[in-house]
Amino acid sequence: MHEVTGNRAGLKPSELGALERVYRRRVSPHEVVSLELAAFLCEISRAIGRQVGVLISRPGAIEHVFVGDASRILLPEVGRLRAGQGRFRGLRLVHTHLRNEALSRDDLVDLALLRLDLVAAVGVNHEGRPADLHVAHLVPPREGQSPWVQLPSSPCQRADLDCVALIAALEEEFERVLPTGRAPPSAPCWSWRSWASCAPTGQAASTSCASCAVPPASRWPTWPCSGGPSPTRATSSAAAS
């Protein structure tokens, strides 16, 4: 059964029902998010005063629906990474930002650690409608540079990014730079396993990843290397505890 996860406390049954029905929606594989879905997410996000997000598969199915608070999202557990250094998870994260602000550091860290196809924030205007669309995606390792690129923001109604073409090009580029089965360079954050170079598995760390400067274990109980917990900044189970 499809369930809405995250910060559900205080939501009305009608609001939960409306969020559950999001699972029935479909998005074109070529779109970051449909205008209809973006409009609904903005409307309900403004009504409840919380960020609302979805994980969308490449075929356009809604895989997860979740609720955060006014300034951050509460990501669900999405399982371990599939094998292959040059491959993505096959999910894109789309969520609302109540003040139409740009992607946050947390958004970008989730993009890198979960190896999402892309992360997008739909800004909410003062009328509860879509404002700007903010998008970022991963790029292959570059010496001394972050592992992601933020695209120029654009009005949601005029967004023309083709997700199918973008991901195909990125996967080809990753395969060229990091062929499948080849170990990544020292201290990158291209997969959870590579974080073992930052700190031993299961051991709390006190420094940032040498490559991407992701904050230390104050945000996660252990480094998200092989065998560690999911690197989501706040899961539903954590919120419940």
- What does the pLDDT average to over 38-53? 98
Instruction: Say what the pLDDT of residue 144 is.
Output: 85
Report pTM: 0.76
Lowest mean pLDDT among 55-59, 187-191, 223-227: 223-227
Whether residue 206 sits in one domain with residue 148: no
Return the amino acid letter for 148.
W
Rounded Cα distance between 159 and 30, Å, is 11
Whether residue 87 sits in one domain with residue 194: no
Using the Cα atoms of residue 45, residue 39, residue 132 and residue 190 in order, give the sign of their dihedral. positive
Whether residue 99 sits in one domain with residue 28: yes
Rounded Cα distance between 111 and 190, Å, is 10
Whether residue 206 sits in one domain with residue 140: no
Number of domains the chain is built from:
2
Whether residue 49 sits in one domain with residue 60: yes
Whether residue 149 sits in one domain with residue 214: no
Element (H, E) at 45: helix 35-48
Whether residue 136 sits in one domain with residue 195: no
| Unique residue bearing structure tokens 């990843």 | 209
Residue 240 lies in a domain: no
- pLDDT(70) > 90: yes
Task: Give me the domain span that covers residue 83.
Answer: 4-182
Split at pLDDT 50, 70, 90, the class of 152 is very high
Instruction: Say what the pLDDT of residue 175 is.
Output: 86
Rounded Cα distance between 233 and 75, Å, is 7
Residue 31 lies in a domain: yes
Question: Contact 88/116 with Cβ under 8 angstroms?
Answer: yes
Residue 94 tokens, joined? 């789309």
Residue 19 lies in a domain: yes
Residue 201 lies in a domain: yes
Residue 236 lies in a domain: no
